[in-house]
């Protein structure tokens, strides 16, 4: 084989491979002119879940927490014009509480989490949380408030026991969720003033798992979970139920709640 022929074959092969990769790398046609600068000041508004207080018969009704509880607000944005290529930066202040924000820079469709942790000094007080979104010179702001009740987390042990039951079942029956026995969960009590049905939230790096159980004699001692995919979902996407914990019933799928529990 002559050098010329070899060079031609190699050149042809390289050209074909480069062409295929280039076609694959071409961005989909979006109608946006080439070289357009992303709009740093395009308008948006922020949305915060849960809304607290809510007005019932003209009176504000607050949600409750206890000192040390993680009160998790979900924050999204809606672009008012064309979708921007610049993310909105989320910040928050809450006097009397510690604030931690996960996923601070979000685009439309993404979810930031603003975690507000009341200090013991704020028991009996109302925590006012101001959540601000900033993009360039444009800002939007939402205010939410909740009350801090006296109390302590006395549900963690049983909540963890129930969590383990669901996790081992999910690991076997729903491997597509990526939840295994090794998944690390951080828990926080929620709804401290609710008594007959207890609630607890667990967070892994990927999932928010809300667990609730009925404090009742068998066969009415049900336990339920719902799962929200963090950072891209505002509401749960899976839900499962154990009809009777005492009877060691297997979890079964149930209707997925429309909103997250707070």
Partner 1 sequence: MELTRSRTGLLAGISLLAVVFTVALTFATLQLPVVLGNWLSKYFPDIHPVIEPERVAEFMAVARPVGYACLAVIAILIVAGIVTGKRKLSTLGSLAFFLPTFGYFFASMFFLAGLGILRVPFVPFWDPSTNLMNFGDISYLPYMALVYPFWLGGIDIREVISWLVIGIGLFIFVLGTITWFYGRLQRRKAVDFWIYRHSRHPQYLGFVIWSYGVMLFAAQQLVPMGGSNPGASLLWLLTSLVIVWIALAEENKMRKEDREAYLQYRAHAPFMFRVPTFVSAVLTLPIKLLLKKSRPETGKELVATFAVYTTLLILLSSPFVFLDWPPGIGWSDWPGFIPGLPGPIMNL
Residues that bind partner 1 (CB under 8 A): 1, 3, 5-6, 9-10, 12-14, 16-17, 20-21, 23-25, 27, 102-103, 105, 172-176, 178, 180, 205-206, 229-232, 253
Give the single-character DSSP code of 220. Answer: S
- Is residue 135 within 8 A of residue 41, CB to CB? The reply is yes
Cα gap 95→256, rounded to integer Å: 35
Smallest gap, in angstroms, from Cβ of residue 194 to partner 1?
Answer: 28
| 192 vs 236, beta carbon nearer partner 1 | 236
DSSP state of 214: E
Taking the complex as a whole, the smallest distance from the CB of residue 65 to partner 1 amounts, in Å, to: 22
Q: Measured from the CB atom, is 157 or 176 closer to partner 1?
A: 176
Tokens matching residue 215 = 């404090």
Q: Give whichever of 34 and 59 is closer to partner 1, judged by the CB atom.
A: 34
Instruction: Give, rounded to a whole angstrom, the gap between the first and last alpha carbons of the chain.
Output: 75
Nearer to partner 1, 157 or 255 (CB): 255
Q: Do 50 and 63 contact (CB within 8 A), yes or no?
A: yes
Containing 20, the helix (H) or strand (E) segment is: helix 3-25
- Give the shortest CB-210-to-partner 1 separation in angstroms: 18
Strand 63-66 vs strand 138-149: parallel, antiparallel, or unpaired?
parallel
Is 256 within 8 Å of 237 (Cβ atoms)? yes
Contacts of 76 (CB under 8 A, 6+ apart): 46, 47, 106, 108, 109, 110, 111, 112, 234
Choice between 127 and 242, CB closer to partner 1: 242
> For residue 63, what are its two tokens?
């949600």
CB of 70 to partner 1, least distance (A): 15
Residue 228 has a CB neighbour count (10 Å cut-off) of 25
* Minimum CB distance to partner 1, residue 85 (Å): 15
Asked whether 12 and 107 are in contact (CB, 8 A), the reply is no
Between 62 and 169, name the residue whose CB sits nearer to partner 1: 169
Q: How far is the CB of 249 from partner 1 (least distance, A)?
A: 15
Q: Which CB sits closer to partner 1, 17 or 215? A: 17
Work out how close the CB of 229 gets to partner 1 at its nearest, in angstroms, rounded to a whole number: 6
Phi, psi angle pair for 11, to nearest 5°:
-60, -45
* 14/54 with CB nearer partner 1: 14
| Shortest Cβ 22–partner 1 spacing (Å) | 9
Structure tokens at 245: 């914990």
């Amino acid at each position: 084989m002559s050098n010329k022929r070899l060079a031609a074959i190699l050149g042809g092969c390289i050209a074909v491979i480069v062409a295929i990769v280039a076609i694959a790398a071409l961005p989909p046609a979006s109608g946006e002119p080439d070289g357009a600068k992303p709009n740093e000041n395009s308008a948006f508004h922020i949305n915060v879940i849960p809304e607290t207080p809510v007005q019932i018969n003209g009176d504000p009704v607050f949600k409750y927490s206890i000192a040390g509880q993680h009160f998790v607000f979900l924050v999204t944005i809606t672009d008012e014009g064309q979708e921007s290529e610049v993310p909105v930066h989320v910040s928050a202040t809450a006097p009397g509480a510690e604030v931690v924000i996960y996923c601070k820079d979000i685009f439309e469709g993404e979810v930031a989490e603003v975690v507000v942790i009341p200090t013991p000094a704020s028991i009996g007080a109302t925590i006012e949380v101001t959540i601000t979104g900033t993009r360039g010179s444009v800002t939007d702001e939402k205010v939410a408030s909740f009350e801090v009740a006296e109390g302590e987390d006395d549900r963690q042990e049983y909540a963890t026991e129930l969590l383990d039951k669901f996790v081992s079942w999910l690991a076997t029956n729903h491997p597509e969720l990526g939840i295994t026995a090794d998944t690390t969960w951080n828990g926080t009590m929620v709804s401290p003033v609710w008594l007959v049905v207890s609630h607890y939230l667990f967070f892994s790096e990927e999932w928010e798992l809300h667990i609730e159980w009925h404090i009742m004699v068998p066969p009415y001692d049900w336990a339920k979970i719902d799962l929200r995919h963090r950072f891209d979902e505002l509401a749960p996407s899976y839900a499962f139920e154990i009809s009777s914990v005492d009877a060691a019933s297997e979890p079964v799928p149930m209707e997925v709640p429309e909103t997250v529990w707070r």
